[in-house]
Amino acid sequence: MNHNTLFTVQEATYELLRRLGLTTIFGNLGSTELPFLKNFPSDFQYVLALQEASAVAMADGFAQAAGTPALVNLHTFAGVGNGMGNISGAYMNKTPLIILGGNQTREMLVGDVYLTNVEETTLPKPWVKWSYQPVRAEDVPAAIMRAYAVALQPPAGPVFLSVPLDDWDKPALGSAVVRTVSTRVAPDPGRVKGFADKISSASNPVLIYGPDLEKAGGWDIGIRFAEKLQIPVLFSPFTERISFPVTHPQFQGSLPPAIGPLSKRLRGFDLAIVIGAQAFRYYPYVAGPYLPDGTELLQITADPNEAGTAFVGDSLLGDPQLALEALIDLVPDRPKRGWPSLRLPPLKISSDGEVLYADEAFSALDDSRPADTVLVTETTSNVTELLNAWGIAAPGS
Amino acid sequence: MNHNTLFTVQEATYELLRRLGLTTIFGNLGSTELPFLKNFPSDFQYVLALQEASAVAMADGFAQAAGTPALVNLHTFAGVGNGMGNISGAYMNKTPLIILGGNQTREMLVGDVYLTNVEETTLPKPWVKWSYQPVRAEDVPAAIMRAYAVALQPPAGPVFLSVPLDDWDKPALGSAVVRTVSTRVAPDPGRVKGFADKISSASNPVLIYGPDLEKAGGWDIGIRFAEKLQIPVLFSPFTERISFPVTHPQFQGSLPPAIGPLSKRLRGFDLAIVIGAQAFRYYPYVAGPYLPDGTELLQITADPNEAGTAFVGDSLLGDPQLALEALIDLVPDRPKRGWPSLRLPPLKISSDGEVLYADEAFSALDDSRPADTVLVTETTSNVTELLNAWGIAAPGS
Amino acid sequence: MNHNTLFTVQEATYELLRRLGLTTIFGNLGSTELPFLKNFPSDFQYVLALQEASAVAMADGFAQAAGTPALVNLHTFAGVGNGMGNISGAYMNKTPLIILGGNQTREMLVGDVYLTNVEETTLPKPWVKWSYQPVRAEDVPAAIMRAYAVALQPPAGPVFLSVPLDDWDKPALGSAVVRTVSTRVAPDPGRVKGFADKISSASNPVLIYGPDLEKAGGWDIGIRFAEKLQIPVLFSPFTERISFPVTHPQFQGSLPPAIGPLSKRLRGFDLAIVIGAQAFRYYPYVAGPYLPDGTELLQITADPNEAGTAFVGDSLLGDPQLALEALIDLVPDRPKRGWPSLRLPPLKISSDGEVLYADEAFSALDDSRPADTVLVTETTSNVTELLNAWGIAAPGS
Amino acid sequence: MNHNTLFTVQEATYELLRRLGLTTIFGNLGSTELPFLKNFPSDFQYVLALQEASAVAMADGFAQAAGTPALVNLHTFAGVGNGMGNISGAYMNKTPLIILGGNQTREMLVGDVYLTNVEETTLPKPWVKWSYQPVRAEDVPAAIMRAYAVALQPPAGPVFLSVPLDDWDKPALGSAVVRTVSTRVAPDPGRVKGFADKISSASNPVLIYGPDLEKAGGWDIGIRFAEKLQIPVLFSPFTERISFPVTHPQFQGSLPPAIGPLSKRLRGFDLAIVIGAQAFRYYPYVAGPYLPDGTELLQITADPNEAGTAFVGDSLLGDPQLALEALIDLVPDRPKRGWPSLRLPPLKISSDGEVLYADEAFSALDDSRPADTVLVTETTSNVTELLNAWGIAAPGS
């Protein structure tokens, strides 16, 4: 690239963001962010939020819906602080967010002047994969490239870059280097073989699908895998994504989010195969064994931390879709068999019409919604009723 | 105390909070906080906020207005995250807040289950003075006592305690030990003498009062000190508290928040005496010397960090009120002299009545307000007009 | 397991360590570690070091030589501090170490008494993959299991567990759950295909082998891959492991550890294929382009951080051995060709016998050493002479 | 200052260090520190240690002996790691150390190249008061000035500055600003009065002197205070400094370092006045009440953290010497009374001359030592015998 005139860090950054496809910026800005935003390019879009928490939440939703990383622009100091709640949520969601936080001008940072983001790399911890302030203005584009590479690799998640306000107008080193990285890994073939053997020799296994199977693009292979094995499919507790059609005859409900009840639900199965989920995301503490006597557990996850935090079981590290693709040819076809209909709890009828029950509400919404409705719900306690009422049968829902 | 029946950690805590006077709790709660709040005592008050940021902000305002520490109760994980912006503000305000964050039950924390506040003591950093999760349930009351002691000592500020939800129902060790600590320190008398000598021998000194003089209860001694010296009083940049009556003839305005202009404003003074302020809280970067040629700077502050971050000058560590009380007898009376009236900028009149200027608005509000009105303003760019219009002449305003 | 008598945390831990094969413990202990070590089982071995730094170094060497994780036992507080230097080295070496640090008794930790490891999980950062103190004594074995799982997964590295001294004698929950995890992942097959296409269409590519190829067990596949492609093999800068026989005709030397010279060395190659190395581990700063004009770079690494920190190039995440096994069938055989002998610098002869040059020393040692000699050297500046003199031609050397 | 030629960051730094009196540098260096040390000024002294731990230990001892801050120069990364054990010791000793750690050149830090001190400000935590890497080369001198100010203010302690190797040759902004700060604070006079009242009305109080009384220069006032009150003087547990002559009749021994025994030793006293010590530095856990029934505790300390961690009692924050000077005129003279001789344990005689007991050894050493002998001992378990044998009766010993 030939730069006849001064090529600034800001210009190099927009060029890089454009090449990375990061042209939508979610933010709530203040004075420390203005130098980044002046002469805002017309092919970029700035989605302004009224508070930083909302900026992060919108970016998280956008990235999940679009299946791409998203760029967030937060005000220095208390602004980054305001975003921390939803940054921790994005971390749990494994959403790749590149978060740029402003900071005062380098000239005055040693004196902790007004709007200094003191210990700027500490604040976002532990809820980002990487937290950094470039040690020179000219390293900002390279640091964004590194942030992008870190955010995308498995398990994906948010990263934080602090940029002093005077960096943007400094001369750039030139166009930023653009690099590409892997967004997924496959399981170790040797270990896949061991898992296949265990599945093949189990007499009464059960599949437990978690949110990361769908996120990995594993909806179709998940159905084929289940249909080949002809065994029940359950959802992991508190799954925020549906990885299997709830209308499929093999779908047999969600696991309860507590140690004792979950263990009770697995009685009679000699092997529980957890795919794309923590083992397990318990919520209330209810005592009991982690597994019933005679049940073993296998876990397939792309997240080493999920393998680390499992209470029981052996783990296979790798992308859930790739893992099922590697496994499916190594496990036997089992004969088709009949499935009990998943008995739904009867609709609660509010006798006097004064109390609106959750299932009534969901049914009414379901009757009138367009096919591509997006429902945003905060009512985790009614998810069972919601699944019953809406009968989700397509991925990404 | 004789406890015939089981005395729980929760009961010991309420007893301790009562003895510490922390009977107003600001919070936004979830399931992890319920065990703390069940059987909520009738002599306590829970001020519920709709989001954690508001809970912290209300507690900050309450503590500043009441001159006491305040208790905050935040939901685990993202809840603490939501509060971080205003926690950083409270840290800058030096407001003593005891912040209790919830956490999952100890039985399941090793597995990072749903609602676990992972690395719970890292999240609030660097904006709390102390961050801790007791290593046993029975240590919760002692940890609150320690948190209180840490929060109150100079410079005051927020502290964070993470409490797993099952701790509250565990047996207590007994009533908590109640301790008292110092809330201020006096300056080193030898160093006071040196400061007094410098002030006495200066030919044209100036006083620069910052927010911490008023917070320290130094309104009256500040007036007497200024009147004894018969020198001008300026406000430090961006002071969030007024430490001197703006109607006093010696009041000569606020310092601009930039290096060059501030230095220019101090031309002709051979000694700048900064009391209860950072030196200085600059905002935009405007190049220039920190001080004019021939000007020296003395700083009196209770905050070692403010002494550390000063760009220039010698510092005296101690409570501003106590420092002035120690200094006032060591500096000479100077003869009374006339003062130029602080020329106010003329009111901007909006010719067509369609644009409302800030000074019009503040004047109109001033005409109709009760004497004890509390104005909460976000418009830092109009503070000069506000001071002109309202003529604040009493402490705590 | 039937425990007729009290089964303690200590007993459950030794049982777990035995099942994990961690029966050699490297340490330097003090009073806070005694409860862990009393009644030391006869099938365990404690390798006592005189200072903690040595304990960590021995464990690192042992783990690397044995190809297994190793257990380290450090004294609380300053003891862990002493170990930090070599812990950071183990982190860079990707050596799986499970480090147990002592701590005072839980009863007194809230008061920071003598030998308290204050903020015990902060001290080892950022040089451990996980830092934790169990929130209850009974969670110690589960935390060790989790630590083991975290340490082993790619990229492997040290983990830190702080254990209060009174935890060891507390009743255990029962036998610890033993789990297994993946120790490597395979590259994404789709991305492998892309890499294969680039390699196939390159006209003059070069292989750059780094230390992690040998560590991954890729010595043989590395030779076969190179011989199939018939292209030169270079070593990455500062490689601490040799991944290719220096006696092989295709071996053409090591890359210099500086930007400009390294780039110069790659002139004429249109594709640099880096396997199992950072891109690059520069040491002195010597300006220059990262790559010559017309050269592209591919990197294969099991470490997402190495993909993140690369200055240039596209990265493929996965075990180097598995990656070459996946690639080898997708790249073309190239015809055998002759290779220039790697011209060695002539031996420096010390004319008067008073100065011993490095190559003389290494040659003399080589003449007299047994075949399985282990040379520990601190002289990074003479590695070239060492490689010349010793002609290493087997893996693990 | 007129700089006709280029004035570098290194030159500005040596000029600043000279003015601060930091002309002795303790260190263990490597390539990242060479630019700081080239053209080493002849009026500076570099004390080279063979490992970083020793460099820190020597600096700690030097600073304590000289009563001044000391400068430490550590190698990057593992070098700083090696120093952490003794840095934590210096933190506990409240020794003001200014620690400069090297780092790679700024040009390459974004790529984590060889010898990069990754997350350079995290590593020294939590054992430094401040951890910083200047955001520009030209801020190095100002950061050193800030580090000095932070290290010296009460409670003193180590601070850490990371300096990239290329910073030293960059142009300086000019001569560094030199500032002075307080090294001690006085107690709040109002609270002093309350403490004086409690002491005056106690019927049988006891003084407990800790190490910080002597460090504060309070040896003489400590004797006068004790003699005015005519009450026993005990040493706090594990005191590393003697704050009162062990030959003085009022000296009645050291408190045992365990909860139960210490409480037992205080039986009969209605008020324990702890000066310059933690309350208390317990070591083994021995159950018991913190204080006997009927005993109250007052603590005088310059360290807010010691006030925070006290298990019982009310605390007065301020320099111990200044506190006693403020108190001595407010407490009553009590009549002189006789004191029981502190019965020493009889000398253990080794019957056969083959075993050398500690008291024999200390006695033998005492007989032959010069008056200003410095004994460095690691044998904390024989401190009682040592005090008996040597009869320390002068401050600073």
The CB-based long-range contact list for D374-379 (8 Å cut-off, 24+ gap) reads D374/D65
The position carrying tokens 């603590």 is D299
D182 belongs to a structural domain: no
Question: Which chain D residue lies closest to C78 (C-alpha atoms)?
Answer: D85
Query: Which of D110, D122, D136 comes nearest A106 by C-beta?
Result: D136
pLDDT-derived band at B362, boundaries 50, 70, 90: low
Cis upstream peptide for D340 (omega within 30°)? no
Query: Which of A110, A133, A139 comes nearest D143 by C-beta?
Result: A110
* Contacts C263 to D, Cβ<8 Å: none
* Contacts C311 to A, Cβ<8 Å: 142, 177
- Is residue B319 a contact partner of residue B214, using CB atoms and an 8 Å limit? no
* Contacts D118 to C, Cβ<8 Å: 126
Query: Is A335 found in the same domain as A216?
Result: yes
Query: Is A361 found in the same domain as A246?
Result: no
* Residue C390 pLDDT greater than 80, yes or no: no
The upper half-sphere exposure of residue C335, i.e. CA atoms within 13 Å in the direction of its Cβ, equals: 2
Query: What are D370's two structure tokens?
Result: 């010069």
C contact test, residue of A182, A197, A321 with most C CBs within 10 A: A182
Q: Considering only CA atoms, which of C86, A163, B305 is closest in space to residue D53?
A: C86
D1 belongs to a structural domain: no
Q: Considering only CA atoms, which of B15, B55, B63, B60 is closest in space to residue B33?
A: B55
B181 with D308: Cβ contact below 8 A: yes
Least confident of A170-179, B335-344, C67-76: B335-344
Which H or E run contains C253?
A: strand C251-254
- Is residue D83 a contact partner of residue D49, using CB atoms and an 8 Å limit? no
B125 with A113: Cβ contact below 8 A: no
Query: What are A237's two structure tokens?
Result: 């507790």
- Is residue A79 a contact partner of residue A102, using CB atoms and an 8 Å limit? yes
What averages of pLDDT result for each successive group of 10 residues across chain D (397 residues)? 72 98 96 95 97 97 96 96 97 98 97 96 96 98 98 98 98 97 98 98 98 97 98 96 96 97 98 98 97 98 97 98 98 92 58 62 68 61 63 69
CA distance A229 to chain B (A): 30
Whole-number pLDDT of residue A376: 60
* Residue A363 pLDDT greater than 80, yes or no: no
DSSP state at residue D119: T
Q: Which chains touch B (3 or more CB pairs under 8 A)?
A: A, C, D
As a whole number of angstroms, the distance between CA D135 and CA D128 comes to 19
A4 belongs to a structural domain: no
Whole-number pLDDT of residue C341: 80
From the number of C-beta atoms within 10 Å of its C-beta (0-12, 13-18, 19+), residue C332 rates as exposed
> C67 in the Ramachandran plot: left (φ > 0), alpha (ψ -120 to 50) or beta?
left
* Residue B351 pLDDT greater than 80, yes or no: no
- Is residue B158 a contact partner of residue B99, using CB atoms and an 8 Å limit? yes
Q: Considering only CA atoms, which of A142, A93, A392 is closest in space to residue A242?
A: A392
B309 with A111: Cβ contact below 8 A: yes
B350 belongs to a structural domain: yes
Question: In 10 A of CB A355, how many CB atoms?
Answer: 10
Domain stop point among D169, D199, D231? D169
Question: Which chain C residue lies closest to B139 (C-alpha atoms)?
Answer: C110
Q: Considering only CA atoms, which of D17, D27, D159 is closest in space to residue D96?
A: D159
Question: Which chain B residue lies closest to A259 (C-alpha atoms)?
Answer: B108
Query: Is D290 found in the same domain as D148?
Result: no
From the number of C-beta atoms within 10 Å of its C-beta (0-12, 13-18, 19+), residue D17 rates as buried
Q: Which CATH number is C106's domain given?
A: 3.40.50.970
As a whole number of angstroms, the distance between CA B50 and CA B28 comes to 6
> Sheet harboring B271-275: ordered strands across?
B251-254, B233-235, B205-209, B271-275, B296-301, B314-317
- Mean pLDDT, to the nearest integer, of C314-323? 98
- Mean pLDDT, to the nearest integer, of A247-268? 97
The strand pair at B251-254 and B233-235 is best described as: parallel
- Mean pLDDT, to the nearest integer, of A203-226? 98
D125 alpha-carbon distance from chain centroid: 18
- Mean pLDDT, to the nearest integer, of A204-209? 98
Alpha helices, DSSP H, located in D76-188: 78-93, 140-152
- 3-class SS string, chain B: CCCCCCCEHHHHHHHHHHHHCCCEEEEECCHHHHHHHCCCCCCCEEEECCCHHHHHHHHHHHHHHHCCCEEEEECCCHHHHHHHHHHHHHHHHCCCEEEEEEECCHHHHCCCCCCCCCCCCCCCCCCCCCEECCCCHHHHHHHHHHHHHHHHCCCCCCEEEEEEHHHHHCECCCCCCCCCCCCCEEECHHHHHHHHHHHHHCCCEEEEECHHHHHCCCHHHHHHHHHHHCCCEEECCCCCCCCCCCCCCCEEEECCCCHHHHHHHCCCCCEEEEECCCCCCCCCCCCCCCCCCCCEEEEEECCHHHHHHCCCCEEEECCHHHHHHHHHCCCCCCCCCCCCCCCCCCCCCCCCCCCCCHHHHHHHHHHHCCCCCCCCCCCHHHHHHHHHHHCCCCCCC
Q: Which residues of C touch A (CB under 8 A)?
A: 130, 142, 146, 149-150, 153-154, 177, 179-189, 191, 290, 304-305, 307-319, 322
* Contacts D146 to A, Cβ<8 Å: 110
C86 with D81: Cβ contact below 8 A: yes
- Mean pLDDT, to the nearest integer, of A110-136? 97
The length of chain A is: 397
List pLDDT tens digits, range A263-275.
Answer: 999 999 999 999 9
As a whole number of angstroms, the distance between CA C26 and CA C35 comes to 16
Show the domain range for B393. Answer: 345-397
The amino acid that residue A6 corresponds to is L
List pLDDT tens digits, range A344-355.
Answer: 555 555 556 566
A92 belongs to a structural domain: yes
How far CA A241 is from CA of A223, A320, A393, in Å, comes to 15, 14, 12
Query: Is B388 found in the same domain as B272?
Result: no
Whole-number pLDDT of residue A74: 97
Question: Which chain C residue lies closest to B121 (C-alpha atoms)?
Answer: C119
Tell me the percentage of chain C whose pLDDT exceeds 90.
83
How far CA A368 is from CA of A357, A371, D5, D340, D388, in Å, comes to 17, 9, 81, 95, 92
From the number of C-beta atoms within 10 Å of its C-beta (0-12, 13-18, 19+), residue C391 rates as exposed
> Mutual orientation of helices C358-368 and C383-390 as an angle, nearest 10°?
30
CA distance D86 to chain B (A): 23
As a whole number of angstroms, the distance between CA B180 and CA D191 comes to 10
Query: Is A71 found in the same domain as A27?
Result: yes
CA distance A209 to chain C (A): 19
As a whole number of angstroms, the distance between CA A102 and CA A86 comes to 18
Q: Which chains touch D (3 or more CB pairs under 8 A)?
A: A, B, C
A146 with D110: Cβ contact below 8 A: yes
CA distance C151 to chain B (A): 16
Domain count, chain A: 3
| CA-based torsion, B36, B40, B46, B48: positive or negative | positive
- A and C: number of Cβ contacts within 8 A: 112
pLDDT-derived band at B341, boundaries 50, 70, 90: confident
CA distance A113 to chain C (A): 27
Q: Considering only CA atoms, which of C138, C280, C315 is closest in space to residue C209?
A: C280
A contact test, residue of D135, D162, D173 with most A CBs within 10 A: D135
DSSP string over D42-100: TT-EEEE-SSHHHHHHHHHHHHHHHTS-EEEEE-TTHHHHHHHHHHHHHHHHT--EEEE
C contact test, residue of A131, A185, A192 with most C CBs within 10 A: A185
Whole-number pLDDT of residue D211: 97
Whole-number pLDDT of residue B1: 44
- Please enumerate in sequence order all residues whose Cβ is within 8 A of that of B352, keeping only pairs 6 or more positions apart, or say none: none
Whole-number pLDDT of residue C353: 57
Which of helix, strand or coil describes residue A21?
coil
* Contacts B308 to D, Cβ<8 Å: 130, 146, 149-150, 153, 181
Q: Considering only CA atoms, which of C122, C119, C115 is closest in space to residue C84?
A: C122
Query: Is C360 found in the same domain as C312?
Result: no
Whole-number pLDDT of residue C278: 97
B304 with D154: Cβ contact below 8 A: yes
Query: Is B143 found in the same domain as B117?
Result: yes
- Is residue A9 a contact partner of residue A169, using CB atoms and an 8 Å limit? yes
* Contacts A142 to C, Cβ<8 Å: 311
Which of helix, strand or coil describes residue A358?
helix
CA distance B188 to chain D (A): 5
A371 belongs to a structural domain: yes
Angle ∠(D196,D201,D206) on CA atoms, nearest 5: 80
Query: Is B244 found in the same domain as B385?
Result: no
Tell me the percentage of chain B whose pLDDT exceeds 70.
86
ipTM above 0.90, yes or no: yes
Question: Which chain B residue lies closest to C142 (C-alpha atoms)?
Answer: B110
- This prediction's pTM: 0.93
As a whole number of angstroms, the distance between CA A239 and CA A232 comes to 17
Question: Which chain D residue lies closest to A138 (C-alpha atoms)?
Answer: D107
As a whole number of angstroms, the distance between CA C104 and CA C115 comes to 6
- Is residue D35 a contact partner of residue D166, using CB atoms and an 8 Å limit? yes
Query: Is A362 found in the same domain as A247?
Result: no
* Contacts A112 to D, Cβ<8 Å: none
Q: Which CATH number is C213's domain given?
A: 3.40.50.1220
What average pLDDT is seen over chain A? 91
C112 with D278: Cβ contact below 8 A: yes
B109 with C139: Cβ contact below 8 A: yes
From the number of C-beta atoms within 10 Å of its C-beta (0-12, 13-18, 19+), residue B389 rates as buried
Tell me the percentage of chain D whose pLDDT exceeds 90.
83
The strand pair at C185-187 and A185-187 is best described as: antiparallel
Domain stop point among C169, C202, C231? C169
Which H or E run contains A307?
A: helix A304-309
D178 belongs to a structural domain: no
As a whole number of angstroms, the distance between CA B171 and CA B137 comes to 8
B322 with D188: Cβ contact below 8 A: yes
Query: Is A93 found in the same domain as A57?
Result: yes
C181 belongs to a structural domain: no
Angle ∠(D290,D88,C126) on CA atoms, nearest 5: 115
Query: Is B387 found in the same domain as B335?
Result: no
Q: Which chains touch C (3 or more CB pairs under 8 A)?
A: A, B, D
Query: What are D84's two structure tokens?
Result: 């952490």
As a whole number of angstroms, the distance between CA A242 and CA A214 comes to 7
Question: Which chain B residue lies closest to C141 (C-alpha atoms)?
Answer: B110
pLDDT-derived band at A366, boundaries 50, 70, 90: low
Query: Is A356 found in the same domain as A333?
Result: no
Domain stop point among D297, D327, D343? D343
Query: What are B273's two structure tokens?
Result: 């005496």
